[in-house]
Amino acid sequence: MLYKNYVGIDVSKLSLDVFIREASLHRKFRNDSSGFAPLVQWLKGHVTCSWQSLLICFEHTGLYSLSLAQFLEQEGTTYAMVPALEIKRSLGITRGKNDIVDAKRIAEFAYRFSDKILPTKLPSKDIQKLHFLLTMRDKMMVNIAGYTMAQKELFRVVSVSELPTIALSYQNTLITLKEEVRRIEREIRSTISSNNTLKTTFELITTVKGIGFIVASFLIVYTCNFTRFKDWRKFACYSGIAPFEHQSGTSVHGRTQVSAIANQQVKRLLHLAAMAAIHFDSELREYYMRRQAEGKSKMATINIVRNKLLARVFAIVKRGTPFVDIHRYAST
């Protein structure tokens, strides 16, 4: 094996439960800058191998695990942030749960799957910033939709003249939220434009019809500027649009279907991109209409279009040249 010692860390909002598998030792540390240095010192005093032969593993818990990952990366420490579901499903049947047990199970997971675990490397600062901005924009859009619906439902049964204060409050709130969305979008564009690598990628992938500003930005974030996934098929699997067989023996012969284990946000965005592409791309529109005429499933066809879009995007990034609509030129 590549590693000789395995450390599991159960990450919570305020604390880190650390377990060294080979020494069977546990200790709790604060989950902030005041706890990270003592954690490393404690590990160095108790591991039985060189620092380069140590693998630290913990669940990807979003913001709670980000500071720890940043510190370990600055220290040049090998670590792996793993999805919680991956760890949970690898453990088999388990009973009981507490922080110490969870840390121990994570360390055991790291040991058993050390040949498959890939060390984590955080995205660049600009990509992290884009992710935060896009997340904030999403929250704003949810709030706008919520306030718009609440306003519509209220004044469907009550006149504005009866509740002028509430009507004005709704109006001002929506104006403010929409202005904030525009401000966030300007910052997203500025972040992309100030980074030549991201700017080049953005300009390339937006030449594909259906891939607009927001979809392109999310694709850059979730693919780490198209370095995280080997090819478009891997990303299609991650996005929940890759088809899988569902059959067993002689009795189970289900239809090919996509998996629910996916990044649902990317899947939703790719659906919107596919609908736009069907509308604006003549080749994809003809393909969609032909399959509809053949009586094929509408959603299955849209899913094929989603996959076609990903294939195009990954191809032009790899090639480094804009998308060329050959079908358009062939028809003229």
**Which single residue is written with the structure tokens 């694709």?**
219
pLDDT (tens digit, 9 = 90+) per residue, 146-198? 999 999 999 999 998 999 999 999 999 999 999 999 999 999 999 999 999 99
Helix intervals (H) in 5-124: 33-46, 63-74, 84-90, 99-112
SS3 245: strand
Per-residue model confidence (pLDDT) at position 93: 81
Domains in the chain: boundaries: 5-112, 125-192, 216-330
Per-residue model confidence (pLDDT) at position 94: 81
Q: What is the pTM of this model?
A: 0.90
Architecture of 5-112 per CATH?
A: 2-Layer Sandwich (3.30)
Per-residue model confidence (pLDDT) at position 244: 84
| 253 token code pair | 């012969």
Contact, 276 vs 209, CB < 8 A?
A: yes
Per-residue model confidence (pLDDT) at position 248: 72
Per-residue model confidence (pLDDT) at position 11: 96
- Phi first, then psi: give them for residue 213, nearest 5 degrees: -60, -50
SS3 5: strand
Helix intervals (H) in 158-280: 164-193, 196-205, 213-222, 232-239, 264-280
Low-confidence ranges of the chain (pLDDT < 50): none
DSSP conformation class of 76: T
- Phi first, then psi: give them for residue 28, nearest 5 degrees: -105, 140
Closest CA relative to residue 119, chosen from 192, 40, 168, 53: 53
Taking residue 140's Cβ as centre, other Cβ atoms within 10 Å add up to 20
Per-residue model confidence (pLDDT) at position 252: 67
Closest CA relative to residue 36, chosen from 4, 81, 3, 66: 66
Q: Alpha-carbon torsion 258, 262, 265, 270, what sign?
A: negative
Per-residue model confidence (pLDDT) at position 247: 75
